[in-house]
């Protein structure tokens, strides 16, 4: 994508296009109009136009950054590419892609998390978290349409949020602490899903006292 392409974009297209540069600027300027102005200048975009693209300020900028990571993740790790991996590795790969996209921008992430944690932003932050978890599960091949659809996304959203907090302060070599934390939490998801599957298994597939008594009374010949 060239700078001239960005100058011809609609506001909806401009938001995710500028988002990585705004995140870079947010390391020093915070999620402010100054960050938008720096990002616009870096790409030859009119700063007034760029500012209009984010009418709700910081949360619009952060939402655009998350949307850009969602889109980049889908392009880099489509369902067809992940299909041969165990489900655990699909989820781990998707979350790790997102963490890699944040590497070097930890200060911008810390500032974003602080803004998202404000009471007035909680509802929108929850929707953004849910959307990212939904995107990951869909790329992982999940097609659940029942109660599982919601529990899987809620669980992954919570684990991803916790991993982001660890990642933001992780100073270990190669982010080893974050990777280990993620692996433990994904292991927890898999154990939970297996246990839930056993509990929710149709009665016909599980133990049946009636069937057992029937077999004792009328043994197969």
What would the pLDDT profile of 95-124 be if each residue is shown by its tens digit?
A: 999 999 999 999 999 999 999 999 999 999
Place of tokens 């077999």: 215
What would the pLDDT profile of 56-95 be if each residue is shown by its tens digit?
A: 999 999 999 999 999 999 999 999 999 899 999 999 999 9
Residue 204 has pLDDT above 60, yes or no: no
The candidate with the shortest Cα–Cα distance to 183, out of 66, 93, 105, is 93
Contacts of 166 (CB under 8 A, 6+ apart): 177, 178, 181
What would the pLDDT profile of 170-195 be if each residue is shown by its tens digit?
A: 999 999 999 999 999 888 777 766 66
Euclidean distance between CA atoms 24 and 55, whole angstroms: 20
According to CATH, the superfamily of the domain at 58-193 is Tetracycline Repressor, domain 2 (1.10.357.10)
pTM: 0.84
Domain parsing of the chain, residue ranges: 1-55, 58-193
Looking at residue 160, the DSSP 8-state letter turns out to be H
Residue 92 tokens read as 């781990």
Termini Cα distance of the chain: 73
Mean of per-residue pLDDT scores for the chain:
89
Which H or E run includes 66?
helix 58-76
Contacts of 51 (CB under 8 A, 6+ apart): 33, 36, 37, 40
Q: Specify whether the CB–CB gap between 140 and 87 falls below 8 A.
A: yes
Task: Pinpoint the alpha helices (H) of 103-208.
Answer: 106-116, 122-139, 147-168, 176-200
Residue 179 tokens read as 């990777």
Euclidean distance between CA atoms 138 and 4, whole angstroms: 34
* Phi-psi domain of 2 (left: phi exceeds 0; alpha: psi -120 through 50; beta: other): beta
């Amino acid at each position: 994508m060239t700078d001239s392409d960005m100058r011809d974009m609609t506001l909806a297209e401009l938001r995710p296009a500028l988002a990585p540069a705004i995140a870079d600027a947010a390391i020093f300027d915070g999620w402010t109009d100054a960050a938008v102005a720096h990002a616009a200048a870096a790409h030859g975009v009119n700063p007034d136009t760029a500012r209009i693209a984010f009418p709700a300020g910081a949360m619009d900028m952060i939402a655009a950054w998350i949307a850009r990571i969602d889109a980049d993740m889908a392009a880099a790790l489509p369902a067809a590419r992940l299909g041969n991996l165990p489900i655990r590795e699909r989820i781990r790969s998707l979350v790790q892609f997102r963490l890699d996209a944040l590497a070097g921008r930890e200060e911008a992430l810390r500032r974003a998390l602080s803004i998202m944690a404000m009471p007035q932003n909680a509802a929108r932050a929850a929707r953004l978290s849910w959307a990212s978890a939904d995107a990951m599960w869909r790329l992982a091949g999940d097609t659940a349409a029942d109660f599982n659809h919601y529990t899987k996304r809620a669980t992954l959203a919570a684990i991803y949020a916790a991993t982001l907090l660890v990642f933001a302060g992780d100073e270990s070599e190669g982010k080893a602490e974050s990777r280990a934390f993620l692996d433990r939490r994904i292991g927890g998801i898999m154990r939970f899903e297996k246990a839930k599957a056993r509990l929710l298994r149709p009665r016909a597939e599980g133990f049946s006292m009636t069937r057992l008594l029937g077999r004792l009374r009328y043994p197969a010949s």
